[in-house]
Structure 1
Amino acid sequence: MIAFIVNPAAGNGKAYKMIPKIEKYMNEKNIKYKFFITKYPGHGTVLAREAIKDDFEIVVAVGGDGTVHEVINGIRDSNVALGIIPLGTGNDFARYFRIPKDVYKALEILLMKNTKFIDSAVINKYITCNNVANIGIDADVAVQVTRFKRFFSGILAYTLSLINVLFKYKPYNVKIDIDGKMIKRKIMLAAFGNCSFYGGGFKILPDANPDDGYLDVIIVNEISKFKLLFLLPMAIFGKHTSLKCVETYKAEKIHIDAEKELALCVDGEVILSNTIVLNVKRNSVKICTN
């Protein structure tokens, strides 16, 4: 059986409107299924856990990166497979695995039942991140994106949010322990993750591999705001890592201490903390892939 967890707000209501198409496809294929509709933030995690208890083989996140994040946190460390129908604003996690936005093509991937296990980043011992977690100006932008994505999508929403944040942003000091190597930096941004994309298509971690047992790390040290605007177009294509202001690492454990409470954006969802610990957890999630 297949469980579909639908975020009715995803894609400005697009995910909810696709339910009849999904029903039609599943009925034609004569496959048992059930829909679950999220009603509040975090509900997707609760529903995913219930689906495991009810012996569903595949739990499908119907929505954007936030919906995927909630479902992953519900099925992690189980043998239940994650499916994705990407109907949100950014769809960065689905982009990495080349899962198409076309509903019928995404459903075909589920029925192929080609699965693989991928790693996770466990943050502060309780949050599972399977895409990208980030701090700095881009995390502050993520807070603003929730406003702009009502009217714009993908990179456009991200860019408008960036311009809104850019004029008042000040770099801050952090201490980052990367597998025992302590570095102190004044940063514009830093990102940590298993996959490559965030912000609706920016290839922030171009060398990320979700099953290599490591988290990819990128740090952008203090630069002028003008240079940051130059960096962004390069990041769309993953070419920014050649710049002198950019450092890259691979790590199993990362410990971050900041001088003030900061926004941490985890798969598009924002939490506040001044101490962040990330540990890689191998083979944590099974996913249906293209």
Structure 2
Amino acid sequence: MSKLPYKRIHIVINPASGKDEPILNVINDVFHQYEDIDWTISITRKFGDATEQAREAAQGGADLVAGYGGDGTQHEIANGILGTSAVMGVLPGGTGNGFATELQTPKTLRPAVELLCTGGQIRHIDVVKLGEEYFIQRLYVGIEPEEQTSRADKDKYGTFAYAINAYKQATDKKQKEFDYHVVMDGQEYNFTCAKMYVVNAAMSGTGISVTGKVSKPDDGLLEVFVLSTKNMETLSAAADRALNLNTKAANELIWQCKEITIDTDPDQPVWTDGEHTRRTPITVQVVPGALPVLVPDVEKA
């Protein structure tokens, strides 16, 4: 059943996102057709602003809060509205827009704003608790800031920048390996590897899932896998999953759990939804169905 149109909508705009388009013109043009909707906007200047602005809007009575930006912006919006009665909307403004791709929300701005006005259905997405914050897509351990995909590469190559950077890292024989001590749902594991991934929503902006068909963002489970340049089977398994190949390695070298503790020697950087947030050790737990997100109505699709 379709959700009736929302009466109070707030949009948080990240002007530093990866797209160059007339954001305000499009938003104003669409909302001008729906005079009964009370809509407001706010603009971010730094990391953390979107969370604060989303929370203020939700607590101030907005029944839908949407973020224009990439996956980092969507991460902040989710953290802002969790625990309130507001629904989250997604306006794709980043380079990759993996979260929008995951939920099959419109990939361009105008139809995405139209969805906010006309309504769709609510999908209750899992979130993952880390300390006092949450992430909605992925956590990874072992990637130093200088190894991240640069803004310059994103501007130059678009979504292909992520694939290019991933290939460089996977084939870098000089990458250091570390000892990981991991506890998943009470069971202990030890790995020697370069990187570890904890996945809630697996889809990238290129339309490739990092876990193949294993992950769903509303199944109450996390998927975990490791990458090691000294163990080519871990790399081939990851490639097989991305290509949806049903191989033995692809199925065996991935684990599912609801809670995971990760410790490393030495401590390693931790990234959540593309942002460097802390270092190991960490413990995360999935919170099933905690985030209501507006998505297209499948009955209308």
| Shorter-normalised TM range | 0.7 to 0.9
2:99 is aligned to: 93
Q: Bigger shift: 52-61 or 157-166?
A: 157-166
1:161 is aligned to: 165
- Distance in 2, matches of 1:245 and 1:78, equals 38
Task: Indicate conservation of the 8 Å contact 1:220/1:245, yes or no.
Answer: no
CA deviation map 1:192-230 (0-9, x unaligned) = 1221224754411232122222222223455457984x6
Q: Bigger shift: 96-105 or 31-40?
A: 96-105
- 1:267 is the counterpart of 2:273: yes
Of 207, 211, 221, the match for 2:218? 211
1:181 is aligned to: 187
Residue 222 of structure 2 aligns with an amino acid whose one-letter code is L
- 1:226-241 correspondence to structure 2 within 5 Å: 228=235, 234-239=240-245
1:72 is aligned to: 78
Local SS of the residue matching 2:253: strand
- Distance in 2, matches of 1:13 and 1:219, equals 36
Task: Indicate conservation of the 8 Å contact 1:121/1:278, yes or no.
Answer: yes
Q: Bigger shift: 72-81 or 99-108?
A: 99-108
- Distance in 2, matches of 1:43 and 1:210, equals 25
TM-score by length of 1: 0.87
Shift of 1:246: 5.8
TM-score by length of 2: 0.84
- Distance in 1, matches of 2:247 and 2:182, equals 19
- 1:99-138 correspondence to structure 2 within 5 Å: 99-110=105-116, 111-123=118-130, 125-136=131-142
Residue 288 of structure 1 aligns with an amino acid whose one-letter code is L
- Distance in 1, matches of 2:239 and 2:250, equals 16
Q: Which has the higher strand share?
A: 1
Local SS of the residue matching 1:173: strand
Task: Indicate conservation of the 8 Å contact 1:240/1:246, yes or no.
Answer: no
- Distance in 1, matches of 2:77 and 2:250, equals 38
- Distance in 1, matches of 2:194 and 2:80, equals 33
Q: What percent of counterpart residues are identical?
A: 24
Shift of 1:12: 4.5
Local SS of the residue matching 2:155: coil
Q: 1:199 to 1:127 in 2, by over 3 A?
A: farther
Task: Indicate conservation of the 8 Å contact 1:143/1:270, yes or no.
Answer: no
Of 45, 48, 57, the match for 2:51? 45
2:293 is aligned to: 287
Q: Which has the higher helix share?
A: 1
Shift of 1:245: 9.6
2:196 is aligned to: 190
- Distance in 2, matches of 1:142 and 1:197, equals 21
Runs of at least 5 residues in structure 2 that lack an aligned partner in the other structure: 1-7, 297-301
- 1:19 is the counterpart of 2:24: yes
- Distance in 2, matches of 1:97 and 1:192, equals 19
2:261 is aligned to: 255
Q: 1:147 to 1:205 in 2, by over 3 A?
A: same
Q: Bigger shift: 35-44 or 104-113?
A: 104-113
- Distance in 1, matches of 2:238 and 2:153, equals 18
Local SS of the residue matching 2:100: helix
- Distance in 1, matches of 2:100 and 2:181, equals 32
Task: Indicate conservation of the 8 Å contact 1:218/1:248, yes or no.
Answer: yes
- Distance in 1, matches of 2:295 and 2:88, equals 9
1:2 is aligned to: 9
Superposed CA RMSD in Å reads 2.6
Task: Indicate conservation of the 8 Å contact 2:262/2:283, yes or no.
Answer: yes
Task: Indicate conservation of the 8 Å contact 1:259/1:274, yes or no.
Answer: no
Local SS of the residue matching 1:286: strand
